[in-house]
């Protein structure tokens, strides 16, 4: 998958969020930033609430930031990572605390990783809206404290990302009914997802990805949820129907779990932009219909070998914004539907490692934006319907090897691109196949070469996507709500 494509998708999501957030954020930030009445009054002796000030000192000490206790007024001696707001009596209250080196631009106080903890004094900050800990307790693994469930009713954002938290998710977090963002990405959390989280009815983003959560997904309903990421866990069972009625979803990622059952009907989630259900054990028939998903840009279902289905010919009708379609290794049978060639924005199409037969639909010649096509390891036959220009555009990202009888037609003028075609894994239609021995060894080398390369680029990709995701979280968390 190309880097820029992924960037585009993630950025699109971020942009969507920003647009959505704009009206939400304005009132608060106007009070916080700039030459507001609040700050001029601060000169006239406005002070931080004394109880909250002591609580902040406790919290800073517990994270190895004792320097903060020398600051006479934590709200007025502001550092990156603390935000306050005056009330009508000119008393400052702490509304946001953030820890961890997110990037060079946003250096919140870092935690001493060997002996940090979350101080129980945190529950003495009743006006807190945002609490953010990133890479804080990694060398001092500890459970998520259940007292976080007692945080004030203003709390909208709770981010505990890559902190090395162990144990299960405390069901007390379900008491934080005003939360909009709950992000527990990449810890070592185990046990099942607490049913109590279903009480957070205004949740907009739930990210529990990259933990060791097990059991089935509870019957949760989040009418306002935009982003749901439960990927990279050990979740089993089928997707509850309640999740499939969260019709504000923009992104649903349940990849890399042990989910089973019939492939879900997501056609009611009309705002979806990104769907990733890869590496599970969903069974057929094929995920469809999808004709309501006009906004969908990326559909990734690879690595569901028990799907064992045919692709209905109208499966991708109306997906006018689809850019990425990845259906590798799903045990798909029968023919490639002609309608796939009518996806106007398609750039990446992977259908490799299935049992698809018949020939490549001629409609594929109209996929003018296609830059990556994998049809290798199927049972396809016949001459390829691509123009020279398309082949030249895709080059090594065209994979056709290991099929029953794909070839190119000499009359099409493709012979000049012999190297590319040979790399893609096919030969001339009129000529008998090359001598097997030589052919096999060359192809093998090709596969080894390209798989090493793709492993390297995958690594690069995951690094980049990590950075992008992080900035997405940051924007999402701080700009939106």
- What residue ranges bind ligand NAG (CB under 6 A)? 149-150, 166-167, 171-172, 174-175, 190-191, 196, 216, 218-219, 240, 333-334, 357-358
Q: Which is nearer to ligand NAG, 190 or 450 (CB)?
A: 190
Structure tokens at 57: 């000192």
CA separation for the pair 151, 146 (Å, rounded): 10
| Nearest distance in Å: CB 468, ligand NAG | 30
Angle formed at CA 451 by CA 448 and CA 455, multiple of 5 degrees: 140
Total H helices, total E strands in the chain:
6, 23
| Nearest distance in Å: CB 269, ligand NAG | 19
Per the DSSP assignment, residues forming a β-bridge with 275 are 252, 299
Q: Which is nearer to ligand NAG, 294 or 333 (CB)?
A: 333
Cβ pair 85, 127 in contact under 8 A: yes
Strands 47-48 and 348-350, by their bridges, are unpaired
Selection from 198, 295, 298 nearest residue 243 by Cα: 198
Q: Which is nearer to ligand NAG, 175 or 231 (CB)?
A: 175
Hey, is 350 helix, strand or coil?
strand
CB contact set of 276 (below 8 Å; sequence gap of 6+) = 231, 252, 253, 254, 255, 298, 300
| Nearest distance in Å: CB 333, ligand NAG | 4
Q: Which is nearer to ligand NAG, 171 or 345 (CB)?
A: 171
| Nearest distance in Å: CB 320, ligand NAG | 29
| Nearest distance in Å: CB 201, ligand NAG | 15
Q: Which is nearer to ligand NAG, 7 or 357 (CB)?
A: 357
| Nearest distance in Å: CB 218, ligand NAG | 5
Q: Which is nearer to ligand NAG, 67 or 139 (CB)?
A: 139
| Nearest distance in Å: CB 472, ligand NAG | 29
Strands 355-358 and 379-383, by their bridges, are parallel
* Residue where the block lists tokens 């939400």: 24
Q: Which is nearer to ligand NAG, 234 or 393 (CB)?
A: 234
Selection from 248, 315, 293, 229 nearest residue 10 by Cα: 229
CA–centroid distance for 404 within its chain: 36
* Residue where the block lists tokens 């550092």: 79
| Nearest distance in Å: CB 281, ligand NAG | 19
CA separation for the pair 118, 161 (Å, rounded): 14
- Distance, first Cα to last Cα, the chain: 32
Q: Which is nearer to ligand NAG, 126 or 174 (CB)?
A: 174
| Nearest distance in Å: CB 239, ligand NAG | 11
Q: Which is nearer to ligand NAG, 42 or 332 (CB)?
A: 332
């Amino acid at each position: 998958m190309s880097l820029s494509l992924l960037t585009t998708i993630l950025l699109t999501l971020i942009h969507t969020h920003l647009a959505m957030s704009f009206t939400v954020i304005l009132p608060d930030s106007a009070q916080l930033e700039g030459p507001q009445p609040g700050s001029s009054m601060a000169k006239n002796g406005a002070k931080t609430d004394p109880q909250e000030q002591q609580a902040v000192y406790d919290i800073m000490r517990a994270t190895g930031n004792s320097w903060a206790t020398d600051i006479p007024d934590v709200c007025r001696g502001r550092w990156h990572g603390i935000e306050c707001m005056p009330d009508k009596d000119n008393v400052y209250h702490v509304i946001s605390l953030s820890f961890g080196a997110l990037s060079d631009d946003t250096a919140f106080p870092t935690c001493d990783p060997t002996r940090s903890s979350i101080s129980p004094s945190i529950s003495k900050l009743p006006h807190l809206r945002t609490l953010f800990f990133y890479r804080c307790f990694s060398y001092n693994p500890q459970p998520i404290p259940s007292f976080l469930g007692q945080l004030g009713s203003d709390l909208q954002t709770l981010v505990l990302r890559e902190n090395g938290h162990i144990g299960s998710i405390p069901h007390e977090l379900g008491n934080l009914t005003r939360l909009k963002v709950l992000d527990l990405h990449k810890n070592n959390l185990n046990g099942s997802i607490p049913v109590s989280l279903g009480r957070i009815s205004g949740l907009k983003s739930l990210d529990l990805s990259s933990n060791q959560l097990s059991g089935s997904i509870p019957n949760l309903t989040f009418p306002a949820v935009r982003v749901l990421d439960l990927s990279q866990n050990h979740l089993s069972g089928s997707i509850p129907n309640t999740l499939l009625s969260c019709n504000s979803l923009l992104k649903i990622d349940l990849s890399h779990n042990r989910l089973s059952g019939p492939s879900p009907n997501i056609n009611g989630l009309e705002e979806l932009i990104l769907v990733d259900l890869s590496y599970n054990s969903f069974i057929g028939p094929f995920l469809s219909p999808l004709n309501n998903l006009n906004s969908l840009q990326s559909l990734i279902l690879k690595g569901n070998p028990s799907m064992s289905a045919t692709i209905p010919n109208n499966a991708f009708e109306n997906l006018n914004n689809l850019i990425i379609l990845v259906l590798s290794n799903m045990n798909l049978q029968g023919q490639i539907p002609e309608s796939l060639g009518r996806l106007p924005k398609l750039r990446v199409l992977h259908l490799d490692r299935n049992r698809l037969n018949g020939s490549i639909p001629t409609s594929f010649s109209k996929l003018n934006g296609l830059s990556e096509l994998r049809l290798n390891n199927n049972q396809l036959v016949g001459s390829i319907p691509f123009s020279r220009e398309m082949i030249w555009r895709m080059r090594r990202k065209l994979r056709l090897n290991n099929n029953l009888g794909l070839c190119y037609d000499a009359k099409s003028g493709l012979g000049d691109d012999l190297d590319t075609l040979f790399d893609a894994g096919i030969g001339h239609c009129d000529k008998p196949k090359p001598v097997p021995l030589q052919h096999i060894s060359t192809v093998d080398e090709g596969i080894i070469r390209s798989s090493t390369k793709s492993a390297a680029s995958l690594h690069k990709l995951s690094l980049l996507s990590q950075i992008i995701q992080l900035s997405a979280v940051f924007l999402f968390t701080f700009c939106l709500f």
